Amino acid sequence: MQDVVEWLKQNGNLKVIDIPLDIELEIPHVAYVEVKEDNSQPILFTKPIYKKKGIEYDTPVLMNIFANKDITSKIFAKEPDIIGEQIDSLMKFKPPKGFLDKIKMLPNVVKLKNIFPKRSSSRGASQEVIWQGSDIDLDKLPILKTWEEDGGRFITMGQVYTQSLDGSMQNVGMYRLQQLSNNTLAMHWQIHKDASNFFDQYTEAGKKMPVSIGIGGDPLYIWCGQAPMPHGVFELLLYGLIRNKNAKLVKGITNDIYVPEDVDFVIEGFVDPTKFAPEGPFGDHTGYYTLIENFPIMEITAITHKKNPVFAATVVGKPPLEDKYFGWATERIFLPLLKPLAPELIDYNMPENGVFHNLILAKMHHKYPGHAKQFMHAFWGVGQMSFVKHAIFVKDDAPELEEFDKLTKYILNRVSKERIFISEGVVDHLDHSSPKQFVGGKLGVDATGDIVEKRVKDISDKVLLKKMQEINSNILSLKSYYKDTANPITVIAVKKSESMLNLFKKLEPLSEYLSILVVVDSQNNDLDNPYMLIWRVVNNIDSNRDIILEPFIAIDGTNKNKLDGFNREWPKDANCTKEVLDRLNKLKVIDIDDEFIIKHSLLDFNLYR
């Protein structure tokens, strides 16, 4: 992995684009489209330009490094499940009882020896070129602007290295970084993250916090930056475990933070706890813009890099995206860490159209009444699992968790209002649907019980829509799913003019035809696209406010506003820019049609009605 580009050419079917493309919108749009293709590839942009400032870069931009499952497995050099088994064996590690046991444990001892990062006293390849003082200029880096309404250019694949005030704990996280000037960045570490906890320590002590940002190098560093390790555990231990060799670290030129010696770029500096700046908007991995919010400012004291560096970046927005493959690897590798907290857990899956923290599916050995609810509480109390908003549990006779159609039928045949649990707890910093930031509803569905009886009458979509429109003319379209199950799902699109809770009340006379009713806005939603409907609904609901259980189960997946008593600002969809897509199509660097655009909700859906 020393020469990542060459490795990707040989192992990842790297696509090379030699046409000059703008770092603002054009390059990100190409990567965004590519990763949605059935056989997506990593891409190297050899001629990035910055049209606004007339800059031509010598540094190429590398994107979609984790483009598919196959290349992700190759980056790990083994299947993620095998790594999970390694972690499981280490967790069960017991002291040897005799000489034979000592011999048998030697391979594990060697592996443990290679786990811990090593600090070097010499400089690394990442420090071959050093910029300090007036040489520091972030415009020299091909930092991307992904979406038209982004607040600026953002580093999207930075490895943010920090340490606790006393130096006893190290952390690497993946946080976006907005360029504010030629030598400052806005540091978007969210309130629940380890780096933010370290920042609190420096704030209380009244000291500036040293921070270094690595870009590029072994792709495994990137994955480690988003791995949900327990608090205080340095994520690069995983690098040692997976690579079976120590990560080699070098000290910064201007601060005491150690970073891998072979990353392509290092941005060094300090965060002053008294200085904040507005950060955002940014089209984030939820598929929505996150709103402007004050975050700490990082003042850059040095930028170092290899002699011939490559700038690694990713694009986030509506699924599916590169984080799909991050998430898949994380699921498989971290399954053993969940099992001690929930011993009857068999498997779990976080579908990418649930943007991970919004939906989890879990299979368990169900042993006694209330067991699934016990699991819900366990999941909502475990590290980053505590941010999961919606959890559905099935027992061991259910289909495989990635067989979504079969699994959905299994769940719908076992759902009832008595098996739905609504609670409240912590939600992700980026969640936009809760009435109050950081705290919101939690929905648990127990689908471990027996099959329930179908209670609703069959009716055609056309007739049911007509009946609904006689009650409310703002209901514009309707589609039913899984009519052959005990709980068919009816989805309606509305032109919103009142609270949907009022609408549900008005539709009660039709309860004999309704088991599960889901309502979405008519704008930007296609009722024939269940993948994106799931994305929309799990993003948009707070279960305490948006779900009723009588006389039918009803879910309000509309955008919220003052009609709902919602007083926060509701964010916009992160949509592509049509003119940019048209231009890229003409240049033949992408090849998409209206069907592809509608399927992946790249633009305002109403443009294609």
Average pLDDT over residues 464-484: 97
Same structural domain, 300 and 410? no
pLDDT at 92: 59
Same structural domain, 389 and 242? no
Same structural domain, 161 and 201? yes
CA–CA separation, 204 vs 360, rounded Å?
Answer: 37
Number of Cβ within 10 Å of residue 340's Cβ equals: 11
Three-class DSSP category at 118: strand
pLDDT at 213: 97
Domain-terminating residue out of 409, 426, 447: 447
Give 220-267 pLDDT, tens digit per residue: 999 998 888 877 888 999 999 899 899 999 999 999 999 999 999 999
In SS3 terms, 440-459 reads as EEEEEEEECCCCCCCCCCCC
Is residue 380's pLDDT more than 90? Answer: no
Domain-terminating residue out of 268, 298, 313: 313
Give 178-234 pLDDT, tens digit per residue: 999 999 999 988 777 778 889 999 999 999 999 999 999 999 999 998 888 877 888
**Cβ-contact 72, 64 below 8 angstroms:** no
Q: Give the number of C-alpha atoms closer than 13 A to the C-alpha of residue 90, restricted to the C-beta side.
A: 22
Give 533-590 pLDDT, tens digit per residue: 999 999 999 999 999 999 999 999 999 999 999 999 999 999 999 999 999 999 999 9
CA–CA separation, 425 vs 204, rounded Å?
Answer: 27
Residue by residue, DSSP assigns 476-521 as: EEEEEE-TTSSS-EEEEEE---S-HHHHHHHTGGGGGG-SEEEEEE
With bands split at pLDDT 50, 70 and 90, how would you rate the model's confidence at 296? very high
**Cβ-contact 541, 555 below 8 angstroms:** yes
Same structural domain, 278 and 349? no
pLDDT at 94: 57
Instruction: Provide the domain limits for residue 248.
Output: 4-313
Minimum mean pLDDT range among 76-80, 93-97, 114-118, 129-133: 93-97
**Cβ-contact 450, 413 below 8 angstroms:** no
pLDDT at 608: 59
What is the torsional sign of CA 542, 187, 289, 566? positive
Provide the number of structural domains found in the chain.
3
Q: Which residues pair with 313 in a beta bridge?
A: 63
Residue 12 lies in a domain: yes
Plot region of 225 (φ>0 → left; ψ -120 to 50 → alpha; else → beta): alpha
Residue 44 lies in a domain: yes
Residue 500 lies in a domain: no
Three-class DSSP category at 40: coil
Residue 488 lies in a domain: no
Is residue 106's pLDDT more than 70? Answer: no
Residue 254 lies in a domain: yes
Same structural domain, 309 and 346? no
Residue by residue, DSSP assigns 319-367 as: SS-THHHHHHHHHHHHHHHHTTTSTTEEEEE--GGGTTTT-EEEEE---
Q: Which pTM value belongs to this model?
A: 0.92
Same structural domain, 143 and 106? yes
Q: Which has the closest alpha carbon to 71: 154, 1, 29, 8?
A: 8
Question: Cα–chain-centroid distance for residue 383?
Answer: 15
**Cβ-contact 487, 522 below 8 angstroms:** no
Same structural domain, 301 and 346? no
Same structural domain, 79 and 149? yes
pLDDT at 355: 86
53: domain CATH number is 2.30.110.10
Residue 72 lies in a domain: yes
Same structural domain, 301 and 351? no
Do the bridges between strand 159-163 and strand 553-556 make them parallel or antiparallel, or are there none, so unpaired?
A: unpaired
Mean pLDDT of the chain: 92
pLDDT at 378: 83
Sequence-ordered list of residues with C-beta below 8 angstroms from that of 246, at least 6 positions apart, any chain: 114, 115, 116, 117, 118, 240
DSSP 19: S
**Cβ-contact 558, 543 below 8 angstroms:** no
**Cβ-contact 533, 490 below 8 angstroms:** no
The verdict on whether omega for the bond into residue 28 sits within 30 degrees of 0, i.e. cis, is no
Is residue 609's pLDDT more than 60? Answer: no
CA–CA separation, 216 vs 197, rounded Å?
Answer: 25
Same structural domain, 170 and 120? yes
Average pLDDT over residues 391-403: 95
Is residue 513's pLDDT more than 90? Answer: yes
Same structural domain, 299 and 407? no
Is residue 285's pLDDT more than 80? Answer: yes
Residue 567 lies in a domain: no
φ, ψ of residue 95 in degrees (nearest 5): -60, 140
Cα dihedral 422, 535, 227, 326, rounded to 10, equals: 150
Same structural domain, 309 and 362? no
Domain-terminating residue out of 447, 471, 487: 447
Three-class DSSP category at 47: coil
Residue 414 lies in a domain: yes
Is residue 454's pLDDT more than 60? Answer: yes
Average pLDDT over residues 407-416: 97
Average pLDDT over residues 331-342: 83
Average pLDDT over residues 500-513: 96
CA–CA separation, 121 vs 119, rounded Å?
Answer: 7
DSSP 605: G
CA–CA separation, 585 vs 278, rounded Å?
Answer: 35
Token output for 325: 């493959």
